[in-house]
Amino acid sequence: MRTGTQSVTCSAGENTIIGRRTQIDDQGHCPGKTETASVRKPSHDFLKTVFKTRPLTDSPCNPYSATRYRYLNNSVKKYARLLGKPMTIAQENGNLSLLGEQLGLLLPNTQEYRLILEDGILKFQIVDMRNDRYLFHLPCKIIEETDGDFKELLIEFFRLLQKQYGLDSFLDNQYFEFAFQYFERDSDPEDEFINLVNRYRKGDICATLRQVDPDKPCSFKGLKKKLKMFEPYTQREKRWKELISEGLQFLRKRRCLGSMCMQPDIDPENYYTVGIEHSLVIIYDDDGIEESFLEFLNDNAQESGFDFFSAGVKTISPYIKKPLELDPYIINFINWIKKINHELYYI
């Protein structure tokens, strides 16, 4: 288990990133940098919602005026009424920190609030956070341990999962652009890790990962056909047939997965934000390269923030009609991915 500010690994396959959360002091200030906020343009088709938390120390519109506090206060009061819960802070209190704490107490432990500036108005935004620090890195080494129809079924499954959610091949992500250049400096053929790197670059591991490349031919109809024809002979094969059958609802067509960006206020051109494409990745194995990859992600998450899967985001106002409603598709998809993860690492 890694500790401190680097990362915390809760289990194989499911890793957590330590990120920054918005904390508001009595004057309404956030810690950290205070440059003008910017939003990174989504680069993957399954990244639906990206927003930045407002840097409160650099607002052009004096967000702490009585009028703006009253708007936030009335927003929280309305949200409390929608949830059927009491609201105890007086209208004239003026303490933004206490108002935020009050809103936080109204929310379940899987949700948090953010302060954002939208159309010149300071607003609270409610976010589903249940998967904000999880990485699902699914190893495909299993295809080396199988053969025949079972192997073909797994290859088709891994290809289609990546294709339908716009995932890159593990060998094509930005980590390797840095890693291979760095590791090339060490040419010692006796070094075990360098040998592992070379297996990823042009050896057997590279060949295995290329078998599940999302650019290779694959289709939903092809997977269904292989699934129908496949006759499992072992308990392991039976479990995989059940898991893939359960996942057909998520592999039928492309679908956006909601996410939120938790970047500090930095220049996105000069920093490497951990995108949501790194939250779900088909890797080879839980080996030294994966460990190095996780350290790389955690380092960049600390510097530049990270994206994550979210089942719901809602901006509240004094005029909202309903509280945050979660997208069951996202919840069910992540629960299914967790089952796949468990099968790959623990069975």
Q: How confident is the model at residue 8 (pLDDT cuts 50, 70, 90)?
A: very low
- List phi, psi (to 5°) of 165: -115, 15
Which helix or strand (DSSP H or E) is residue 78 part of?
helix 66-83
Distance CA 341, CA 13 (A): 6
CA distances from 87 to 79, 82, 93, 108, 191 (A): 9, 11, 13, 15, 63
Distance CA 180, CA 202 (A): 12
CA distances from 91 to 23, 70, 75, 322 (A): 22, 7, 11, 22
At position 15, the amino acid (one-letter code) is N
Distance CA 53, CA 36 (A): 11
The whole-number average pLDDT for the span 114-128 is: 87
Instruction: Please tell me which of 129-138, 145-154, 164-173, 254-263 the model is most confident about, judged by mean pLDDT.
Output: 145-154
Q: Parallel, antiparallel, or unpaired for β 111-118 and 134-139? A: unpaired
- List phi, psi (to 5°) of 143: -70, -20
pLDDT of residue 64: 60
pLDDT of residue 337: 94
Q: How confident is the model at residue 309 (pLDDT cuts 50, 70, 90)?
A: confident
Higher local confidence (pLDDT), 257 or 200: 200
The whole-number average pLDDT for the span 147-162 is: 96
Shortest CA distance to 115 belongs to which of 173, 37, 183? 37
pLDDT of residue 44: 37
Q: Where do the structural domains in the chain lie, given as residue ranges?
A: 16-133+255-278+300-327, 149-251
Residue 180 has pLDDT above 90, yes or no: no
At position 40, the amino acid (one-letter code) is R
Residue 211 has pLDDT above 90, yes or no: yes
Provide the 3-class DSSP secondary structure of residue 84. Answer: coil
Q: Which residues of 255-291 are buried (b: 16+ CB within 10 A; e: fewer)?
A: bbbbbbbbbbbbebeeebbbbbbbbbbbbbbbbebbe
CA dihedral (150, 152, 157, 158) in degrees, to 10, reads 110
Q: How confident is the model at residue 84 (pLDDT cuts 50, 70, 90)?
A: very high
DSSP codes of every residue in 222-288? HHHHHHHH----SHHHHHHHHHHHHHHHHHSS---B-EEE---S--TTTS--B-GGGTEEEES-SSH
Angle (nearest 5°) at CA 161 between 157 and 164: 130
pLDDT above 70 covers what percent of the chain?
A: 73
**Sheet holding 121-128: strands in order across?**
111-118, 121-128, 313-315
Q: Parallel, antiparallel, or unpaired for β 307-309 and 259-261? A: antiparallel
Q: How confident is the model at residue 258 (pLDDT cuts 50, 70, 90)?
A: low
Residue 157 has pLDDT above 90, yes or no: yes
pLDDT of residue 188: 64
**Sheet holding 14-16: strands in order across?**
8-11, 14-16, 134-139, 280-283
Kindly report which listed range (31-35, 218-222, 235-239, 309-313) carries the lowest average pLDDT score: 31-35
pLDDT of residue 92: 67
Cα torsion angle, 280, 284, 290, 296, sign: negative
